[in-house]
A and B are shown apart, each in its own frame.
Chain A
Amino acid sequence: KAGVTQTPRYLIKTRGQQVTLSCSPISGHRSVSWYQQTPGQGLQFLFEYFSETQRNKGNFPGRFSGRQFSNSRSEMNVSTLELGDSALYLCASSRAGSETQYFGPGTRLLVL
């Protein structure tokens, strides 16, 4: 069974631009969560989607948004990028009713 996939793996943007990251969960997994990982802050929860609905949300500004499609694939968008948005963005999926999350390889975003 294929694991969680994320595209692109690497991305370079400039301040003020916007970016969209994509995540395909493990087949059969309906929950997708997004995390931001930085050396200083560690792994921070962004939001979780289940059945196309945002179920939980972390403490991030409105510039960070996401959505989930009917096939459980998810995208997250960051608008008006700031230098501090440079990070590894991780997506994790889990089966309905399970707390066990499986992570993708991440998208490394660099904002110049």
Chain B
Amino acid sequence: GQQLNQSPQSMFIQEGEDVSMNCTSSSIFNTWLWYKQDPGEGPVLLIALYKAGELTSNGRLTAQFGITRKDSFLNISASIPSDVGIYFCAGDNYGQNFVFGPGTRLSVLP
């Protein structure tokens, strides 16, 4: 079936640094979603993207829907300790096939 790849798998950054992570697929999706999950909790929706080329911001977070519809990236600016967690991308095709990536684990060093 369809699979998503996320890179990097994990990253350690210094507080205040900017972060970039991406998600790729061999198949196209019509919707890309980015979630953050804290330990022991469910994923929380950060940004939803619905159109190829769309660039959307949510505070310090910015995400883009790739023009090929096969990728998306998420940027976090000026990272803070509470940004620690696992970031998942998810792709969907009209509700028929909701697929999650394996996640990028972010650690922020003070």
Contacts and interface: CB of A to CB of B under 8 A. Distances in A.
8 contacts: A43-B88, A99-B31, A99-B48, A101-B33, A102-B45, A103-B43, A103-B45, A108-B40
Interface range for A: 20 to 34
Secondary structure dominating the interface of A: strand
Interface in B82-110: 88, 90, 92, 94-96, 98-103
Interface of A: 4, 6, 31, 33, 35, 42-43, 45, 48, 56, 88, 90, 92, 94, 99-106, 108
A90 B100 CA distance: 13
A43 B100 CA distance: 6
Given A42-B102, A43-B100, A99 B94 contact: yes
Contacts of B103: 42
Contacts of A92: 42
